Structure 1
Amino acid sequence: MRTTKSGRSEYTAVLKHPKRSTGAVSLRTEGVDAAGNTIKQTITRAYGLTAR
């Protein structure tokens, strides 16, 4: 997935889900700064999907 810089230290990603999807979506991200500091974050079951 691609991200777009949307602020000084903010990025935006657009997610597309298949039609008639159900269940939950988990999100995972990783980042690193110029000094080599890292962060990893996982949000399990961040939001649910319902078939339409």
Structure 2
Amino acid sequence: MLSDLSVDYYTRLEQPRGPRPSEQALTAVARGLRLTLDERDHLFRLGGYVCH
């Protein structure tokens, strides 16, 4: 609920089905899980984004 993503969409992210997640979706997940900056950067790398 904290990430404001549907359960189906979150499940597809966990099971790598569907397209690459958007930056907005990853930001929502990071916010919902209350990740630190390092954890957030790692999530973005897993999602295929380069963090600076």
- TM-score normalised according to structure 2 size: 0.24
Quick check: which has more Rg, 1 or 2?
Answer: 1
Higher helix share: 2
TM-score, normalised with respect to structure 1 = 0.24
Q: Which has the higher contact order (CA 8 A, sep 6+)?
A: 2
